[in-house]
Amino acid sequence: MNTNMVANTNVQQQYSNQNQQNHKSQGGQVLFSNNIQYMNNNNNNSSISSSATTESLLQHHYHHGHHNNTAATTAGGGGGTNADIYRKRLYRVGLNLFNKQPSERGIRFLIANNFIEQSVTIEEQARAVAIFLITRKGVSRQMIGEYLADNNPFNKAVLKSFVAEINLTGLIVDEALRSFQMNFRFPGEAQKIERLVESFADRYKECNPNDVLSRDSIFILAFAIIMLNTDLHKPTNIKHRMTQEQWLSNLKGVFSEGDLSSQFLLGVYKRIKKQELQTGPDHVTQVLKVQSTIVGKDVPNLCLSHRRLVCYCRLYEIRDVNRKEKVGQHQRDVFLFNDLLLITKTTNRSRNNQMAEYQYRSSTSLDGLQVNIFAKGFYAHGIRISRRVDQKCLALFNARNELDQKRFVEDLRESIAEMDEMEQIRITKSSSLVQLNDFMLTTTTTNNNNAIMASSSGHGTYHNNNRQQSISSSNLHSSNGDIDGNLATSDSTINDVDIDDEQNKQQQQQQPQSPNGSGPNPSTTAPTTTTSNGHLVQHQQQQQQQHYYHQ
């Protein structure tokens, strides 16, 4: 019992520290000045975060973006044995799988490879997943929201454990909701938002049992605050912001305890208007800041939930390896993401005003690339990027020095290897699906022939049709299990590290499965009716009591 209390305290402390850091880091900017030659995050436990000031960045010639998200024993690149490097790569692959739809693939992968502790019971496994989502970086907060709001028994159990780690004691409802939302981004689907708000209302009542607002009233108020936040801060709604009078009018007669005081509701309105409810920063926040500095035509959308900034490096493009160029000629600012290489050029405005602004030049996917170093003639620190399939050269660069050359090439190779691992998983899954479709097609054809033959003799038609459906269903179930297993056993050819397939299969079998119909029962909430403007109109109430917020 004492051990569990200590563990819970540690998690809460870690969560609290992370929240404080997130609050402090909001509103900062990432600026890459002309003095920075290389920036990388491979050996750090955090991204190039907004908490890093411009002055501190100016002092570095080397900085990593977001290759690592946890302690060196579990993730990231740079150093270690081949087995260590491969395991860190597997961790990032697990993050990538989670940060893509469907997120549950990533959770299964992380559990199967022991990045999330495997547990015997559903409740213990759900808590292990919840703590992972709260405490680890590199996990998309958008995908956390999608995962928690999924109407699946195990996801519901994770949601219950997730909110249990958030302390809302002593907070006003809107401030509690602000703290709650720091951990994930609300999905766009109304039903998913409702599930999350229901969990918030339950948790708020648990943390504040003496608050005279009922659980249903807390749900109504929280839902209204979310809609108010959207109305006041949606960029496309500038001319039709909700007024204070409309806010008060919308909440008249909707609480079972009676109308809340105008003073309290206006206080909520002013706090939301002054500061938008925002999700805490994650790796996508960093990519968004990079996106804001890129100008020009045909700039790709960088802000995807799985994309992380790995490093930034200032290189010099080589037009002709046999021709000497002026020092500093054809300067290029290269941003390496975990799946994309972005090449830019510093603008005159950026050079003159010391502002971060980059002219877009080109971008290429890391899939199927290779990188080599060379020293020839005037270029002692050459870097050649080409395609493996036909050896076509895509870019030639010269680094500022040997150290920048080495670090950039290492990061690029590791990112390419990570993409190769993702591609191997995709091919393995696709092959399994092709085999599944071929097998089901063969089975269906055979059974149809049997059914026709039975029909011609006047016997057994109904029996064979049922048997056909039964076989198809069982084959589907079996093949899906194979797909899940393949996700955990894909091989790497980069570092010649072999993964024990049998051991991974055993780990996959040990993963607890959510039984049908199990998991926590969702709380029952009276329906809420809204207008086309998103304003709360009416809610069915069950209790009648007075509240200290009342008139």
pLDDT tens digits along 92-150? 999 999 999 899 999 999 999 999 999 999 999 999 999 999 999 999 999 999 999 99
Query: Amino acid identity, residue 532?
Result: S
Confidence of residue 338 (pLDDT cuts 50, 70, 90): very high
CATH of residue 531's domain is 1.10.1000.11
Higher pLDDT, 454 or 83: 83
Question: How far apart (Å, rounded) are the C-alpha atoms in residues 488 and 544?
Answer: 54
25 domain-assigned: no
SS (H, E, C) 410-463: HHHHHHHHHHHHHHHHHHHHHHHHHHHHHHHHHHHHHHHHHHHHHHHHCCCHHH
pLDDT (mean) for 8-25? 43
Confidence of residue 431 (pLDDT cuts 50, 70, 90): low
Radius of gyration of the chain, Cα coordinates, nearest whole angstrom: 28
Question: How far apart (Å, rounded) are the C-alpha atoms in residues 48 and 26?
Answer: 13
Which of 144-148, 195-199, 525-529 shows the lowest per-residue confidence on average (mean pLDDT)? Answer: 525-529
113 domain-assigned: no
pLDDT (mean) for 253-264? 93
Question: How far apart (Å, rounded) are the C-alpha atoms in residues 332 and 358?
Answer: 9
pLDDT (mean) for 229-257? 91
pLDDT (mean) for 179-197? 95
Predicted confidence (pLDDT) per residue in 350-370, tens digit: 777 767 899 999 999 999 999
Residue whose pair of structure tokens reads 């909110």 in the numeric block:
163
322 domain-assigned: no
End-to-end CA distance of the chain: 46
Tokens of 544: 């009648």
Query: Looking at residue 279, what DSSP letter applies?
Result: P
* Total tally of structural domains belonging to the chain: 1
Q: Which letter, b or e, does each residue of 19-55 get, where b requires 16 or more Cβ atoms within 10 Å of its Cβ?
A: beebeebeeeebbbeeebbbbbbbebebbbbbebeee
pLDDT at 531: 37
pTM attached to this predicted model? 0.69
Cα–Cα–Cα angle for 179, 181, 183, rounded to 5 degrees: 90
Burial class (CB in 10 A: 0-12, 13-18, 19+), 72: middle
pLDDT at 350: 73
Confidence of residue 328 (pLDDT cuts 50, 70, 90): confident
Nearest to 349 by CA among 427, 302, 296, 405: 296
Burial class (CB in 10 A: 0-12, 13-18, 19+), 292: middle
195 domain-assigned: yes
pLDDT above 70: percentage of residues in the chain: 63
Higher pLDDT, 376 or 511: 376
Q: Are 147 and 118 a contacting pair, CB within 8 Å? A: no
pLDDT at 325: 85
| 427 φ, ψ (degrees, to nearest 5) | -65, -40
Higher pLDDT, 512 or 328: 328
pLDDT at 471: 25
CA distances from 265 to 194, 246, 272 (A): 21, 11, 11
Pairing outcome for strands 38-40 and 309-317: antiparallel
pLDDT (mean) for 258-263? 93
Which of 78-82, 117-121, 156-160, 309-313 shows the lowest per-residue confidence on average (mean pLDDT)? Answer: 78-82
Cis before residue 527, ω within 30 degrees of 0? no
Tokens of 542: 């069950």
pLDDT at 550 > cutoff 60 = no
Owning domain of residue 265: 141-281+521-551
443 domain-assigned: no
Confidence of residue 372 (pLDDT cuts 50, 70, 90): very high
484 domain-assigned: no
Tokens of 247: 């806010």
Pairing outcome for strands 393-398 and 528-530: unpaired
SS (H, E, C) 470-527: HHHHHHHHHHHHHHHHHHCCCCCCCCCCCCCHHHHHHHHHHCCCCCCCCCCCCCCCCC
Q: Are 462 and 53 a contacting pair, CB within 8 Å? A: no
Residue whose pair of structure tokens reads 């080599």 in the numeric block:
372
pLDDT at 140: 97
Question: How far apart (Å, rounded) are the C-alpha atoms in residues 545 and 535?
Answer: 25
What is the helix, strand, coil percentage profile of the chain, to 5? 50, 15, 40
pLDDT above 90: percentage of residues in the chain: 55
pLDDT at 534: 40
pLDDT at 40: 56
pLDDT at 24 > cutoff 90 = no
pLDDT at 210 > cutoff 50 = yes
Q: Are 113 and 94 a contacting pair, CB within 8 Å? A: yes
pLDDT (mean) for 164-193? 95
Tokens of 362: 């080109």
Cβ of 271: how many Cβ atoms within 10 Å?
Answer: 15
To the nearest whole number, what is the mean pLDDT of the chain? 74
CA distances from 44 to 54, 70, 285, 308 (A): 18, 8, 17, 14
pLDDT (mean) for 56-67? 43
pLDDT at 261: 93
Q: Are 397 and 379 a contacting pair, CB within 8 Å? A: no
380 domain-assigned: no
Confidence of residue 41 (pLDDT cuts 50, 70, 90): low
Higher pLDDT, 521 or 386: 386
DSSP sequence for 7-50: HHHHHHHHHHHHHHHHHHHTT------TT--EEE-TTSSS-S-T
pLDDT at 19 > cutoff 60 = no
> What's the chain's length in residues?
551
Long-range contacts formed by 132-136: CB under 8 A, 24+ apart? 133/158, 133/162, 133/183, 134/11, 134/15, 134/18, 134/162, 134/165, 134/183, 135/11, 135/14, 135/15, 135/18, 136/69, 136/70
194 domain-assigned: yes
Predicted confidence (pLDDT) per residue in 465-505, tens digit: 333 333 233 232 333 333 232 222 223 322 332 333 444 44
Q: Are 187 and 551 a contacting pair, CB within 8 Å? A: no
pLDDT at 543 > cutoff 90 = no
Confidence of residue 544 (pLDDT cuts 50, 70, 90): very low
Burial class (CB in 10 A: 0-12, 13-18, 19+), 174: buried
Question: How far apart (Å, rounded) are the C-alpha atoms in residues 63 and 40?
Answer: 3
pLDDT at 12 > cutoff 80 = no
